[in-house]
Amino acid sequence: MKLTIYIGVVALSLLSVLAWADPASLYAGQQTRDIKALSGQEVQDYLDGKGMGLAKAAELNRYPGPAHVLELAAPLNLSAEQKQRTQDLFNRMQKKAANLGRLLVEEEQKLDRLFSTRTVTHETLSAALERIGKLQGEVRFAHLEAHLSQAEILSATQIARYVELRGYAGQATGHDGQSHKH
């Protein structure tokens, strides 16, 4: 038993040394991106108003997202009115998120340009990051707000079914640290 643990520790240590021995950065190849801080997929997702996991706080706490509700309309037994309200909610959210996403991408381009032209200063950096942070918060708000509004459209039974269909049913830990059955 002790020999197995020792061999495991030695193997982990060797892997750590090998990982640090490689001088290539995890960022290698990213220097050719148009916007260094964002992949092409991230840029496209922002421009398209995609969720990108920004609403996990809602999604994983029983606040359904309109895109997934529309995908699950039949098993959720949405009424015609619920489906229309959900579609309207999704359209508003996506338009708002896409508009904000476009502004965010533009601000990231400006930040990248500050560094690439070597004109960045402490003041311009602070101002750029303030604008980017504000836009990131607004994009996230657009998605989270849609989840909040979606929960008001569905019944408790439909929300429970959504949770089940999305694979979130079972044990979960609440903010109080207690285990809760959903």
Q: What is the mean pLDDT of the chain?
A: 88
Q: What integer pLDDT is reported at residue 19 of this predicted model? A: 53
How far is the C-alpha of 179 from the C-alpha of 112, rounded, in Å?
Answer: 45
How far is the C-alpha of 142 from the C-alpha of 52, rounded, in Å?
Answer: 12
178 band by pLDDT with thresholds 50, 70 and 90: very low
Pick 54 or 175 by higher pLDDT: 54
Write out pLDDT tens, residues 136-171.
999 999 999 999 999 999 999 999 999 999 999 875
Q: How far is CA 19 from CA 12, 31, 34, in A?
A: 10, 21, 28
176 band by pLDDT with thresholds 50, 70 and 90: very low
| Residues found in the chain | 182
Q: Average of pLDDT values for 36-59? A: 95
Q: What integer pLDDT is reported at residue 179 of this predicted model? A: 40
Catalogue the E-assigned strands of the chain.
171-173, 179-181
